[in-house]
Chains A and B, each alone.
Chain A
Amino acid sequence: MILDGKIPSGPLPEKWDLRRAEMKLVNPANKRKYRIIVIGAGLAGSSAAASLGELGYNVDVFFFQDSPRRAHSIAAQGGINAAKNYPNDGDSVERLFHDTIKGGDFRSREANVYRLAQLSCGIIDQAVAQGVPFARDYAGYLGTRSFGGAQVSRTFYARGQTGQQLLLGAYGALLRQVKLGTVNLHPRTEMLDLVVVNGEAKGVIVRDLVTGAIGSFAADAVCLCSGGYANVFFLTTNSIGSSVNATWRAYKRGAFFANPCFTQIHPTCIPVTGEHQAKLTLMSESLRNDGRVWVPKLKGDQRSPEEIPESERDYFLERRYPSYGNLAARDVSSRAAKEVCDQGRGVGPGGRGVYLDFADAIRRLGADTIRERYGNLFEMYERITDENAYNRPMRIYPAPHYTMGGLWVDYNLESNVRGLFVLGEANFSDHGANRLGASALMQGLADGYFILPYTIANYLAETKPGVITTHFSEFIQSREEVSAFTNKLLSVKGKRTPAEFHRELGKLMWNNVGMTRSEASLKEALQKIPALREEFWQNVLVAGAGMKLNQELERAGRVADLLEFGELLTRDALQRDESCGAHFRVEHRTPDGEAVRNDKDFSYVSAWGYQGDGREPELHKEPLAFENVDLAVRSYK
């Protein structure tokens, strides 16, 4: 099937206005008759739920943590982009649009990206009004900094905790609605199925993580804001509870999964130390503003960094990408780091690390300025590694961080299943094959504050409220299936824990479907994943019972889904026989190691449709048309 993104006609800058003008509205008096379910309470979920509540809808928000303020958006450090052009350095909506399209290596929709750039400025204003304490200069104006993939300074920040402050802003707006009675929170609750009635999303089946009870909830529309799936790689910067289950269960109910192979490996993470590590920690990319990345020129150089003279250091990003230098896009920087380590020039235990050196910046600006800019990051680094980065360069290495792929949505953020809206990292829409730094917060909030409230009205206006109830057979059946799934996990009583399977899957995905991919590595993964999945269902050991708090059971359910999802990701990587953005196929590279895109054959969104367990999913395509940008070779040289 050729998918239709329902992009409005008309010139690019006017598309969103045109769409807003043609969309239907819900009469204010009728809004309270509608119920909307929101899954996830991060930036996308909280901003959407708060905005919908303000408009007068009834909203139910489900999340697995004990409070919306825990959602993993909170961990975003560096900042949020907006085309304000406050520094007068040549920024504009047009330029942010171009940078994002180019950063995504021309695999995203022009219209979506343009709208994102247009909405970016309003997000900053909204956050300021909520009391987000963005950095200010001495005259009291908002400060900005530069981020990877951009030559202007458009990233707004609140120390190294921008995600935290933006989430707390949205959280305040959300709790205000809770107090006003429009929003109901369901903490410690995990979505385990989407209920589709007559082809439209009308509810969810959830598990109460405290009592173990399985519950059914009906609504007039469902919004998934459940984040990304990087945890398929096990060791990532994502939180422990982040997983694919909400989007995966929706996929199994008919929603298409788009571009799952577009997974971002972040260049500046603290390197892996050992087998029992549960996750990795990111150091904000903003550090690359002042830090210089290097490795020794000599293979296997064991000297400590201060003993290595300038002439024997290879500042490989500055060397390879002179115009962007240490601020080259994330995928490009990550691969460059992997290459120097593969050459045996990596530093630290296991040779899997590169230096990020602040000595020059400290000499130039003084340690106080550096402390002011990144103090909390330096502290965090010391806490984890026991090393002081003011005296000794940090060691960093790439790690899985963000996933550009997600459920397919049209321009209105509606999936191919009617009434199912997907926001933030959970959808695929704006970042193409690679996301630029400081754009995730921007997208999550644009979706939640400024897009969904309009587009969902257009759907609801054609829907009679409250028709579907949990007594419908679809709810009863789905609930039974969820209970059966849980019981099945508990009844295997094998020998290996869910964590062991997760670790093994993660290693396999990282080695075969990670930063670089080849036909052979992908085909091997396609053999091994089903085998591992089979072993899981014969040999997993899930302690405890179903009808009570059981963290092992939660973990087992998430791993079971990842074991299915990993195969789809790999299949997508195999079918995309080109290199683009974060998706790097070794068969397609220039002699000096840069990605080679194939626009003739792969300028499309791949959207996979579930066909039943054990059957190959069906590939649908949405062709990407570029009318306003030239498909150029992406270069940071």
Chain B
Amino acid sequence: MNLTLYVWRQEDRNDKGRLVQYEARDISRDVSFLEMLDIVNEGLVKKGDDPISFDSDCREGICGMCGQVVNGVAHGPRKKTTVCQLHMRHFKDGDTLYIEPFRARAFPVIKDLIVDRTAMEKIIESGGYISVHTGGVPDGNAVLIAKRDADAAMDAAECIGCGACIAACPNGSAMLFTAAKVSHLAMLPQGRIEAGSRVCVMTEEMLKQGFGNCSNHYECEAVCPKGIKVRFIAKLYREFIKAKGNL
């Protein structure tokens, strides 16, 4: 199939950036979206043009490195699918595609479709873990965990940290991302001890990093490639209220 692409090109952080038109020719329906961009890039390189820079690594939807906005939707039109796992069979011959980086106040553009997501890492760094040392821990079965709790924790822990939720949110909020980590750890007995301090430092850091707040648009859940549920945001609020009550 043949497609017309409008791709965001931006030299660096300070450049203004613009959409540039490219043609993608003879694209098989079985290649992935990123493979389609690889093909376009090979053509650009051969013509002596600067290829489009974009992030990817695992290309199997688990590392969270890739991320682009395709026709206004983070990770493109397929539900629960990262852009590296999106296949061209979901597009039609003659389609026009607008391809842009994940945009948010906290995500400066590095080049073209690559953004700097350090701000997300800062949220985890502030306290998104259990403070355990290597060694000296009890047997794995010493603390029993109800299956439904382990399953619910896993539902939250599946987050791949790609930032689509933030790009989709009109407020540029990292609430779903933060809530997923807060919930994952708060639902496990090992994580309960620090649950109160954790939710406080993580939400504080989130605001400090320039992420907005949540005003219940639920755009985040709609684009999340792992289907992380907004009910974890409610869980975050409950944890927050509990923690503040204890202060």
Contact of B85 with A278 in the complex, beta carbons under 8 Å:
no
Q: How large is the interface on A (under 10, 10 to 19, 20 to 34, 35 or more residues)?
A: 35 or more
Residues of A within 8 A of B153 (CB): 131, 133
User: How far, in Å, is B75 (CB) from chain A's closest CB?
Assistant: 12
Contacting pair B132 A173 (CB below 8 A): yes
B93 within 8 A of A: no
Task: Please give, as numbers and ranges, the residues of chain B lying within 8 Å of A178 by CB-CB distance.
Answer: 125
A240 in contact with B137 given A131-B190, A544-B50 (CB within 8 Å): no
Closest to A550 in B: B53
In the complex, A466 Cα to B126 Cα: how many Å? 30
Do the beta carbons of A384 and B63 come within 8 Å of each other?
Answer: no
Residues B130 and A140 in contact, CB atoms below 8 Å apart: no
The answer to whether the Cβ of B133 comes within 8 Å of any Cβ in the partner chain is yes
Across the interface, do A70 and B65 meet the contact criterion of CB distance under 8 Å?
A: yes
Known contacts A210-B110, A384-B85; is-contact A239 B138 (Cβ 8 Å) = no
Let me know if A65 and B57 touch, CB within 8 A.
yes
A449 interface contact, C-beta 8 A: yes
Q: Binding site of B, secondary structure by majority: helix, strand, loop or mixed?
A: loop
Contact present for A384 and B87 (CB under 8 Å): yes
Binds B, one of A161-169, A310-318, A403-411: A161-169
Set A142, A175, A187: member contacting B124, Cβ < 8 A: A175
B170 contacts A by Cβ under 8 Å = no
Shortest beta-carbon distance from A350 to chain B in Å:
13
In whole angstroms, what is the CA distance A176 to B133 when docked? Answer: 10
- Smallest CB gap from B89: residue in A: A386
CB-defined contacts of A548 to chain B, threshold 8 Å: 12, 111
* Residue from B48, B64, B134, B147 within 8 A of A54 (CB atoms): B134
A-B contact count (CB 8 A): 211
A210, B64: Cα distance in complex, Å:
19
Question: Which of A126, A131, A158, A541 is in CB contact (< 8 Å) with B191?
Answer: A131
- With most chain B CB atoms within 10 A of its CB, the pick from A139, A274, A276 is A276
Determine the residue in chain B with the shortest Cβ distance to A158: B154
A129 interface neighbour in B12, B110, B145, B190, Cβ under 8 Å: B190
Q: Is A549 part of the contact surface with B, judged by Cβ < 8 Å? A: yes
Tell me how far the C-beta of A603 lies from the nearest C-beta in chain B, rounded to whole angstroms.
35
The answer to whether A72 touches B129 (Cβ under 8 A) is no
> Bound state CA distance, A276 and B129, in angstroms?
40
Bound Cα distance from A210 to B108, whole angstroms: 13
Is B42 interfacial (CB 8 A cutoff)?
Answer: yes
A207 to chain B, nearest CB (A): 15
Q: Check A172 against B145 for contact (C-beta < 8 Å).
A: no
Nearest CB to that of B129 among chain A residues?
Answer: A172
Known: A130-B130, A384-B85. 11 other contacts (CB 8 A): A125-B138, A126-B132, A127-B140, A138-B147, A172-B129, A173-B129, A175-B128, A239-B63, A276-B39, A386-B87, A541-B46
The 6 closest A-B pairs by CB, nearest first: A172-B129, A140-B144, A129-B137, A133-B154, A128-B140, A136-B150
